[in-house]
């Protein structure tokens, strides 16, 4: 093949100057080592973890799918095949053993496929070679087992309607897998996993019931992840929003299944979990799994989450209806990591804008994580690599050379551009074809000299058929316009390639072309670099892939700039051997240095450092609403027999039953909140109290009409017992002369802080700066607090100065919410059946409610202390809820206004 030349192609230097700024530093590069001399950096072993961290040396990995597929024949015969895709992920999980880590892999079996005909291989004998199910032996089970509706003419009119028998399954068609069949499959998977080096494999079965596991309809478990999350993460926004109730019902059903999917993973992990294990969760199918695990395993469980998909900007992510539960679920991890610095910063911005959290940073000002739920969640950019050693070995396999020779003869004298993509809208195949067409239009000297070999694999997305049609039309158009009887510019192969053929193609190619419009880590580009030791073909890479921030010596393009991509192709095809060799040298060193082994080590090293740092401030788990609901209903029976005390409920007001607002007078309870609290207070066996910093007049105005409700005002200084309309002043005998001095000091700071104001209560004084500039307000509050503490101590007043949400409050020292909480528990005739206490402020912590209840002798299993809000403050509460709306949801759940199923709770 002769060297290509094009006088009009832009020089390489011009292309390299167009690179987008990246967050990855360009380190000096050394010449590439010889084949098979891949440098492997020291792997991170359990012994390398920080001292004092009680690790077992075992990693439990949770991935959506197992690396194997399952085919089933009635009677219990199974076939196991290797699952396509996600090779970098599966290679990394296998390579964990290099560092001496014990491994457990938990994953879904995927859709079990019903097989017909004779078995190719009967599994269970322990064959380690792997047996792919032949396509001719597969038959998908029907996605429904209900007779389809029949179109009929309705009552002689011209209107057609659909009639059918819905909801009655045809049991003779329903294929179910028995418990014994599953045990056989689990044994087979365990044997195969150990032989292949995966460690222990624990399959997750979904949809099981007392009749067995139905094969059909299993794709429902992926609906929310793949129909809602995946498109949004790839910047595909919903274009048609249905106004019908059916659309909302469908979304709720998908979300419920998404929660149940993670719940099944939690069950499987808990069965094998030992204290001190590291749980490593992968990708967008399992974003809320960290929260479920922390709910059930406690504060001290070690959890890391890696998101392989791209993460969108906050403006895109906020479109997601379930945005807050997803972020909160992820933040239950000790560390969350992404493919690039850009995706990491997008995630942090989502947490700041949507949850009002604060970010943490190091001395250089680089963002390092998010402060949430009483602790710190580290956020890192850790781009995954490939198993370079394995790729090198595969690329030089015994059959590859013969395949290379065949391909070279087929395209003799041609410059070969290679692309391999899934056939969906984000992989940019259409953009690639349009750029290639412009290349031939702008640089006619390449006609007859260059071919594009585009390999595509099918996608599960609904728009795949549309893209396939577009691609077919473009291929026909380009070949018809620029081809001839002996020359076709584009060769499109919509198929999976065998590994030998794939690596042969990468080795003979002259240019790798990746034009994804949104992607995480594109491993094809990394494999291409490994295979280019002889040809030294450059790689053109879309700036919208996570890989672009890692492969900084690739030619980076904007795939939507068709002319720019065409110019880049022309330049790359005309590079001199010296220029190609220089680029290849740098790319090759990066790929063989940043492998899956180094990725494993980097992730585990960062995670264990975070665990050691955060040992004294563990994350507070989200409230386990299933446990709360179960406990409430179990105590119903005990209350009827009289063998146990009442159920006691204590609620703060601001930030707990209502959101925090700038004007305290506008913080009025919603009608739903009032009705729920009233219904809870009226249920037999319940004692419900509102314990607030508000004064009596405010509580009386909005909640005083609920006679069954107990009220405590001004942090416990005034109380109104249930069934009474009389307020009792518990601070009546105290010296209140300090109030005038306190008001004078607060007034001085109000004059210096625009927007702030003083609220004088009966036995407390509060200075609010919610309406002020927050930086100025915090600065003045710190000054004011120092002055107040000094003056009050000097005068001998028995008061305390408390910080709240954008306020300072001075109150008597010996009357507080904690005293009321102790009093309510002590007054119970028998040990309370359960105690539920929730609040959002510092007055609910410390010496107040949470602390007082934790010091009581209440059985741990019957005590629910819940802090509200994603605050970064350390808490003594056992659980957290994200916002007041979630508190009301819990009350609705207990009183029966909301069914458990609507909140994704299966009882």
pLDDT value, residue 23? 43
Residue 126 burial by CB count (10 A; 0-12/13-18/19+): exposed, middle or buried? exposed
173 pLDDT band (50/70/90 cuts)? low
Q: Hey, how many other C-beta atoms are within 10 angstroms of the C-beta on 143?
A: 11
pLDDT at 238 (0 to 100): 75
| 682 and 791 Cβ atoms separated by less than 8 Å | no
What per-residue confidence (pLDDT) applies to 74?
66
Q: Residue 431 — pLDDT band, cuts 50, 70, 90?
A: very high
pLDDT for position 180: 85
**Has residue 611 been placed in a domain?**
no
* Residues 375 and 432 occupy one common structural domain: no
- With cut-offs at 50, 70 and 90, classify the pLDDT of residue 258: very high
CATH value at residue 505: 3.40.50.2000
Is 121 contained in some domain? Answer: no
Same domain, 102 and 240: yes
Judgement on whether residues 373 and 396 belong to the same structural domain of the protein: no
Alpha-carbon distance of 190 to 198, in angstroms, equals: 9
Q: Are 557 and 564 in contact (CB under 8 A)?
A: yes
Q: Percentage of residues in the chain with pLDDT exceeding 70?
A: 85
Better pLDDT: 15 or 294: 294
- 504 shares its domain with 642: no
Structure tokens at 199: 């460690």
pLDDT score of 480 more than 80: yes
User: What pLDDT score was predicted for residue 639?
Assistant: 81
For the ranges 403-417, 622-636, 778-792, 859-873, which has the lowest average pLDDT?
Answer: 859-873
Query: Same domain for 261 and 350?
Result: yes
* pLDDT score of 152: 41
> Within 13 Å of residue 504, how many CA atoms lie on the same side as its CB?
19
Total domains present in the chain: 4
Give yes or no for residue 871 having a pLDDT over 50: yes
Task: Please tell me the distance from the alpha carbon of residue 727 to that of residue 749, in angstroms, as a whole number.
Answer: 33
Average pLDDT over residues 619-631: 91
Among 476-490, 517-531, 815-829, name the one with the lowest average pLDDT.
815-829
Mean pLDDT of 894-900: 93
517 located within any domain: yes
Q: Is residue 620 part of a domain?
A: no
Query: pLDDT tens digits, residue range 454-465?
Result: 999 877 655 566
- Label residue 2 by pLDDT band (50, 70, 90): low
Confidence of residue 818 (pLDDT cuts 50, 70, 90): confident
Give 676-700 pLDDT, tens digit per residue. Answer: 999 999 999 999 999 998 889 999 9
Give the position of tokens 């929660």: 259
Q: What is the mean pLDDT of residues 696-707?
A: 94
Q: Which two tokens stand for residue 123?
A: 């599994």
| 149 vs 17, higher pLDDT | 17
What average pLDDT does the segment 880-900 reach?
A: 93
* DSSP letters for 214-237: E-TTGGGGGHHIIIIIHHHHTT--
Would you state the pLDDT for residue 85?
75
How many CB atoms are closer than 10 A to CB 220? 16
pLDDT above 60 (res 132)? no
Q: Report yes or no: 843 and 872 within 8 Å, Cβ to Cβ.
A: no
Per-residue DSSP letters for 586-647?
Answer: HHHHHHHHS-HHHHHHHHHHHHHHHHHHTTTSPPPPBP-HHHHHHHHHHHHHHHHHT-S--E
Domain match, 231 and 335 both:
yes
Stated as kind and residue range, the H or E segment containing 64 is: strand 58-65
pLDDT score of 169:
41
Alpha-carbon gap, residue 177 to 200, rounded angstroms: 22
Residue 689 has which token pair? 């109290």
Phi, psi at 616, each rounded to 5°: -90, -5
Burial of 453 (0-12, 13-18, 19+ CB in 10 A): buried
**Which pLDDT score, from 0 to 100, does residue 38 have?**
42
- Flag whether pLDDT at 118 surpasses 60: no
Structural element, H or E, at residue 351: helix 341-355
What band does 133 get if pLDDT is binned at 50, 70 and 90?
A: very low
Q: Are 682 and 647 in contact (CB under 8 A)?
A: no
Mean pLDDT of 76-96: 85
227 and 91 both lie in a single domain: yes
**What CATH number corresponds to the domain at position 641?**
3.40.50.1000
pLDDT at residue 447, as a whole number: 96
Q: How confident is the model at residue 198 (pLDDT cuts 50, 70, 90)?
A: confident
Quote the pLDDT of residue 87.
Answer: 81
CB neighbours (10 Å) of residue 618?
18
- 8-state DSSP, 186: H
Mean pLDDT across the stretch 591-603? Answer: 94
Residue 268 phi/psi, 5-degree rounding, is: -65, -40
Mean pLDDT to the nearest integer, 787-815:
89
Measured distance CA(65)–CA(111) in Å, rounded:
10
315-364 pLDDT tens trace:
999 999 999 999 999 999 999 999 999 999 999 999 999 998 999 998 88
Pairing of β 68-73 and β 77-82:
antiparallel
- The reply to whether 37 falls in a domain is no
Give the end of a domain, one of 352, 381, 410: 381
Tens of pLDDT, residues 551-588? 989 999 999 999 999 999 999 999 999 999 999 999 99
C-alpha angle 25-26-31 in degrees, rounded to nearest 5: 150
- Do residue 438 and residue 526 come from a single domain? yes
Percent of the chain's residues with pLDDT above 90 = 60
Q: Of 891, 900, 867, 898, whose CA–CA distance to 677 is shortest?
A: 891
890's enclosing H/E stretch is: helix 884-895
Last residue in a domain, options 554, 575, 594: 594
Domain boundary among 794, 811, 828: 811
More confident call, 495 vs 247? 495
Select the more confidently predicted residue: 177 or 727: 727
- The average confidence (pLDDT) of the chain is 85
Q: Tell me the average pLDDT across 654-661.
A: 89
Phi-psi region of 836 (alpha: psi -120 to 50; beta: other; left: phi over 0): beta
Residues 790 and 877 both lie in one domain = no
Domain membership of residue 414 (yes or no) is: yes
Residue 419 located in a structural domain: yes
Sheet arrangement for strand 68-73: 77-82, 68-73, 113-114
- Provide the pLDDT for residue 26: 36
What is the pLDDT averaged over residues 475-479?
A: 96
Residue 14 lies in a domain: no
Residue 290 CB-density burial (10 A; 0-12 exposed, 13-18 middle, 19+ buried): buried
Which residue would you say has higher pLDDT here, 447 or 620?
447
What is the extent of the structural domain holding 524? 388-594
Same domain, yes or no, for 672 and 770?
Answer: no
Confidence bin at 803 (pLDDT 50/70/90) = confident
**Mean pLDDT across the stretch 213-223?**
82
pLDDT for 831-861, tens place per residue?
Answer: 899 999 999 876 665 447 888 888 888 888 8
- Length reported for the chain: 907
Lowest mean pLDDT among 163-167, 390-394, 515-519: 163-167
Per-residue pLDDT tens for 19-64?
555 444 333 333 333 333 444 456 899 999 999 899 999 999 999 9
Domain co-membership, 447 together with 577: yes
Do 673 and 782 lie in one domain? The reply is no
């Amino acid at each position: 093949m002769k060297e290509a030349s094009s006088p009009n192609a832009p020089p390489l230097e011009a292309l390299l100057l167009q690179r987008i700024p990246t967050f990855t530093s360009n380190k000096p590069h050394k010449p590439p080592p010889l084949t098979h001399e891949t440098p492997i950096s020291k792997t991170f072993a359990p012994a390398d973890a920080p001292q004092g961290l009680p690790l077992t040396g075992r990693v439990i990995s949770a991935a959506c799918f197992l690396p194997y597929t399952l085919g089933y024949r009635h009677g219990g015969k199974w076939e196991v095949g290797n699952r396509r895709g996600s090779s970098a992920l599966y290679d990394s999980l296998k390579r964990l053993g290099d560092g001496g880590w014990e491994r457990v892999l938990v994953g879904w079996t995927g859709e079990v496929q019903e097989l017909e005909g004779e078995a190719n291989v009967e599994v269970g004998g322990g064959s380690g070679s792997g047996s792919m199910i032949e396509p001719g032996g597969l038959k998908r089970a029907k996605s429904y087992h209900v007779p389809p509706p029949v179109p009929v003419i309705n009552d002689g009119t011209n209107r057609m309607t659909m009639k059918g028998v819905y909801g009655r399954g045809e049991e003779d068609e329903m294929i179910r897998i028995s418990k014994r069949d599953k045990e056989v499959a689990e044994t087979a998977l365990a044997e195969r996993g150990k032989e292949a080096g995966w460690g222990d494999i624990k399959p997750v079965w979904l949809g099981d019931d007392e009749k067995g596991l139905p094969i059909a309809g299993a794709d429902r478990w992926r609906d929310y992840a793949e129909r809602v999350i995946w498109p949004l993460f790839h910047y595909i926004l919903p274009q048609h929003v249905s106004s019908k109730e059916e659309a909302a019902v469908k979304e709720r059903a998908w979300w419920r299944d998404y929660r149940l999917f993670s719940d099944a993973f939690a069950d499987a992990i808990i069965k094998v979990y030992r204290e001190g294990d590291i749980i490593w969760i992968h990708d967008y199918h399992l974003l809320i799994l960290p929260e479920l695990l922390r709910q059930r395993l406690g504060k001290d469980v070690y959890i890391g989450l890696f998101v392989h998909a791209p993460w969108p900007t906050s403006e895109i992510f906020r479109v997601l209806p379930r945005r807050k539960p997803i972020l909160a679920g992820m933040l239950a991890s000790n560390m969350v990591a992404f493919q690039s610095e850009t995706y990491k910063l997008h995630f942090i911005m989502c947490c700041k804008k949507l949850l009002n959290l604060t970010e943490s940073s190091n001395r250089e000002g680089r963002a390092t994580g998010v402060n949430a739920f009483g602790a710190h969640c580290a956020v890192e950019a850790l781009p995954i690599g490939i198993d370079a050693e394995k790729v090198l070995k595969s690329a030089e396999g015994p059959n590859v050379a013969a395949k290379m020779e065949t391909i070279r003869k087929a395209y003799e004298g041609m410059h070969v551009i290679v692309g391999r993509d899934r056939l969906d809208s984000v992989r940019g195949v259409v953009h690639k074809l349009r750029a290639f067409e412009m290349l031939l239009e702008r640089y006619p000297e390449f006609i007859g000299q260059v071919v594009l070999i585009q390999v595509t694999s099918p996608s599960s997305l609904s728009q795949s058929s549309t893209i396939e049609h577009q691609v077919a039309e473009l291929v026909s158009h380009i070949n018809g316009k620029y081809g001839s009887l002996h020359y076709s510019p584009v060769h499109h192969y919509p198929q999976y390639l065998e590994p030998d053929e794939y690596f042969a193609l990468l080795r003979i190619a002259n240019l790798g072309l990746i034009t994804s419009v949104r992607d995480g880590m594109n491993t094809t580009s990394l494999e291409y670099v490994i295979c280019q030791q002889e040809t030294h073909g450059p790689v053109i890479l879309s700036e919208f892939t996570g890989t672009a921030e890692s492969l900084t010596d690739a030619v980076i393009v904007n795939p939507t700039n068709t002319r720019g991509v065409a110019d880049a192709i022309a330049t790359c095809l005309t590079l001199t051997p010296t220029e190609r060799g220089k680029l290849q040298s740098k790319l090759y060193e990066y790929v063989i240095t940043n492998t899956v082994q180094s990725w494993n080590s980097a992730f585990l090293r960062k995670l264990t450092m975070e665990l050691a740092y955060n040992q004294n401030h563990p994350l507070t788990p989200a409230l386990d609403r299933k446990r709360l609901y179960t406990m409430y209903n179990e105590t119903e029976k005990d209350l009827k027999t009289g063998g146990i005390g009442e159920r006691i409920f204590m609620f703060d007001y601001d930030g707990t039953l209502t959101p925090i607002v700038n004007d305290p007078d506008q913080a009025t309870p919603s009608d739903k909140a009032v009705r729920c609290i009233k219904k809870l207070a009226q249920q037999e066996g319940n004692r419900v109290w509102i314990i607030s910093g508000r004064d009596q007049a405010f509580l009386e105005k909005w909640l005083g009409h609920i006679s069954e409700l107990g009220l405590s005002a001004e942090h416990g200084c005034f109380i109104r017992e249930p069934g009474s309309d009389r307020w009792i002043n518990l601070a009546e005998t105290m010296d209140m002369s300090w109030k005038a001095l306190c008001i004078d000091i607060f007034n001085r700071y109000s004059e210096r802080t625009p927007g702030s104001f003083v609220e004088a209560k009966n036995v407390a004084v509060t200075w609010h700066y919610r309406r002020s500039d927050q930086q100025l307000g915090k600065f003045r509050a710190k000054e004011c607090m120092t002055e107040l503490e000094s003056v009050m101590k000097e005068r001998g007043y028995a008061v305390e100065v408390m910080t709240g949400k954008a306020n300072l409050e001075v109150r008597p020292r010996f009357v507080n919410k904690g005293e009321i909480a102790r009093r309510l528990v002590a007054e119970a005739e028998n040990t309370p059946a359960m105690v539920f206490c929730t609040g959002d402020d510092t007055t609910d912590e410390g010496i107040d409610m949470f602390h007082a209840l934790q010091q009581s002798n209440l059985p741990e299993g019957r005590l629910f202390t819940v802090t509200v809000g994603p605050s970064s403050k350390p808490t003594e509460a056992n659980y957290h809820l994200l916002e007041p709306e979630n508190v009301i949801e819990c009350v609705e759940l207990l009183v029966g206004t909301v069914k458990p199923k609507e909140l994704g709770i299966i009882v």
